[in-house]
């Protein structure tokens, strides 16, 4: 009976080592920003997931889930609609004023005659290239809307990747705790048999039952965590009714070493948030030029043709109107535009510093998790496995008690579960950094719509 227990524990250790060494799949890079500034696609088919716990099933890959999210996540459609609205505004602000046509009559009833009857046509002439300047401002607003779309796309991709690896870790945790729970139940049966043979004390049975019950608690929590992680993944993928299923991949996949200097340089070069702030400066500069042009008044031109029923003459009139800029020289709008330009320039500095601040927090989490994962891989996990083997051997030779074997077994599994938690933390921090610190796509989309409705 003792040999059976030893073989079960040792077999569990081998199964665990093999599970943690599965070959990974490389994730695909995020798609570039399309030319039209949006990514609104028809929903694609969802492969039916296989039942959980079947290792032979291929499962859904990260690339499939990313494509599904880009098709179905509603926040991308919202951001694309804002791009279209900005483009519509670009068209509108560059249009010339419509001409005005009308009827004109004068001296009607004079000496019983119809007087002068005719029609007129008037047109406002826009001066100082104001329409072109309007479109210069609007074009920068389109750019900002496109950068907002790109920010939202990166948020979606980051959320999918983080949720994908959360599910993978939860999936592995369920597998390990299931093994631990099975070993706990078998351990109780083994101790009961040893008690019948009067080889161990009753306290060993109580300890074995505590270990088994604790393992069942861990298993229940692991299953609940898996369900919650899957529901979160389904939400960010835009497929809330997608049932849980296995995923194809490995949580250790593609974990490259990051350095602060390279990471910060890449963030400043690729961050759409910083690019949007820089586009805001260009917009403010264009707006200032437009307000300066507003000092030049537009010209009102009107022409009319009339027929005089008294003299039976046809004559034309021409009228030109030009406001005299004595009181209103657009000085208030110019002053406002100057202040907005200064604020936009300072905003670029603010965004840059905010990115550095957020990266400092994320990079601390990354370096801590990286050190922890490396420590577990090179020292803690090998030592836990060696301790389990040593305890197995000592128990077989009668050097250790059954309680010592239970302790070594629990330590081995808890060490591997903690290692999985460290891997999840490392993957989460690395994913956030690689996604330019953009995440929480559903909350960001809700906030953008709320801000838009309050304008």
Q: What is the pLDDT of residues 228-237, one digit of tens each?
A: 999 999 999 9
Beta bridge pairs of residue 318: 303
pLDDT at residue number 451: 53
Q: What is the pLDDT of residue 65?
A: 94
The whole-model pTM stands at 0.79
pLDDT, tens digit, 9 for 90 and up, residues 244-263: 888 988 888 778 889 999 99
Which residue has better confidence, 196 or 296? 296
Higher pLDDT pick, 11 / 334: 334
User: What's the pLDDT at 56?
Assistant: 31
Q: Are 194 and 184 in contact (CB under 8 A)?
A: no
Find, among 370, 372, 377, the residue nearest to 433 by Cα. Answer: 370
Radius of gyration of the chain (CA): 36
pLDDT value at position 266?
A: 96
Contact between 263 and 201 under an 8 Å Cβ cutoff? The reply is no
pLDDT of res. 278? 97
pLDDT of residue 133: 97
Mean pLDDT of 287-313: 92
Distances (CA, A) of 393 to 10, 78, 92, 204: 10, 63, 83, 19
Query: pLDDT category, 351, cuts 50, 70, 90?
Result: very high
Domain boundaries along the sequence of the chain: 2-18+61-453
Q: Which residues contact 340 (CB under 8 A, 6 or more apart)?
A: 284, 287, 288
98 C-beta neighbours (distance < 10 Å), count: 8
* pLDDT bracket for residue 349 (50, 70, 90): very high
Classified by CATH at the fold level, domain 2-18+61-453 comes out as Outer membrane efflux proteins (OEP) (1.20.1600)
Q: Lowest mean pLDDT of 358-367, 391-400, 409-418, name the range.
A: 391-400
Mean pLDDT of 148-153: 96
* Through-space distance between the first and last CA atoms of the chain, rounded to whole angstroms: 75
Whether residue 455 is predicted with pLDDT greater than 70 in this model: the reply is no
Q: Is the CB of residue 351 less than 8 Å from the CB of residue 277?
A: yes
- Mean of the pLDDT values across residues 154-180? 94
> What is the 3-class SS of 41-85, one letter each residue?
CCCCCCCCCCCCCCCCCCCECHHHHHHHHHHHCHHHHHHHHHHHH
**Helix, strand, coil % (nearest 5) of the chain?**
65, 10, 25
pLDDT at 184: 84
Query: What residues contact 145, with CB distance under 8 A and at least 6 apart?
Result: 37, 79, 82, 83, 85, 86
pLDDT of 310 over the 50 cut: yes
Banded model confidence at residue 58, pLDDT cuts 50, 70, 90: low
Q: What is the mean pLDDT of residues 28-49?
A: 31
User: Is it the case that residue 369 has pLDDT exceeding 70?
Assistant: yes
- Rounded average pLDDT over 134-160: 96
DSSP state of 380: I
Segment (H or E) for 321: strand 313-321
Of 244, 242, 221, nearest to 174 by C-alpha is: 221
């Amino acid at each position: 009976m003792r040999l059976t227990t030893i073989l079960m524990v040792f077999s569990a250790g081998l199964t665990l080592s093999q599970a943690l060494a599965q070959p990974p799949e490389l994730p695909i890079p995020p798609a570039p920003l399309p030319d039209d500034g949006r990514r609104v696609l028809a929903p694609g088919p969802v492969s039916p997931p296989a039942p959980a716990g079947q290792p032979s099933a291929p499962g859904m890959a990260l690339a499939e889930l990313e494509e599904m999210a880009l098709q179905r996540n509603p926040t991308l459609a919202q951001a694309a609609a804002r791009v279209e609205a900005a483009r519509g505004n670009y068209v509108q602000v560059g249009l010339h004023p419509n001409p005005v046509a009308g009827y004109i009559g004068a001296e009607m009833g004079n000496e019983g005659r119809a007087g002068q009857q005719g029609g007129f046509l008037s047109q406002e002439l826009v001066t100082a290239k104001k329409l072109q300047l309007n479109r210069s401002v609007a074009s920068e607003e389109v750019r900002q809307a496109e950068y907002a779309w790109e920010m939202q796309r990166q948020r979606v991709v980051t959320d999918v990747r983080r949720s994908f690896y959360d599910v993978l870790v939860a999936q592995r945790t369920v597998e390990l705790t299931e093994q631990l729970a099975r070993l706990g139940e078998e351990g109780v049966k083994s101790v009961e048999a040893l008690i019948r043979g009067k080889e161990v004390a009753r306290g060993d049975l109580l300890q074995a039952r505590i270990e088994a019950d604790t393992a069942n608690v861990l298993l229940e929590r692991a299953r609940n965590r898996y369900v919650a992680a899957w529901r979160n993944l389904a939400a960010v993928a835009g497929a809330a009714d997608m049932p849980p299923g296995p995923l194809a991949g490995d949580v250790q996949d593609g974990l490259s070493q990051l350095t602060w200097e390279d990471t910060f340089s890449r963030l400043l070069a690729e961050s759409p948030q910083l690019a949007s702030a820089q586009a805001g400066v260009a917009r403010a500069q264009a707006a200032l030029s437009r307000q300066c042009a507003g000092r030049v008044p537009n010209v009102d031109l009107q022409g009319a043709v009339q027929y005089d029923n008294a003299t039976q003459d046809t004559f034309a009139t021409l009228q030109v109107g030009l406001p005299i800029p004595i009181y209103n020289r657009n000085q208030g709008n110019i002053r406002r535009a100057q202040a907005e330009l200064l604020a936009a320039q300072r905003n670029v500095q603010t965004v840059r510093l905010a990115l550095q601040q957020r990266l400092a927090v994320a990079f601390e989490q990354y370096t801590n998790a990286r050190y922890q994962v490396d420590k577990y891989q090179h020292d803690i996990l090998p030592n836990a496995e060696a301790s389990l083997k040593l305890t197995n051997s000592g128990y077989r030779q009668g050097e250790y008690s059954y309680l010592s074997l239970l302790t070594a077994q629990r330590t081995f599994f808890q060490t591997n579960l903690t290692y999985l938690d460290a891997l999840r933390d490392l993957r989460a921090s690395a994913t956030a950094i690689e996604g330019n610190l953009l995440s929480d796509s559903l909350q960001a989309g809700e906030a953008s719509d709320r801000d838009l409705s309050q304008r």
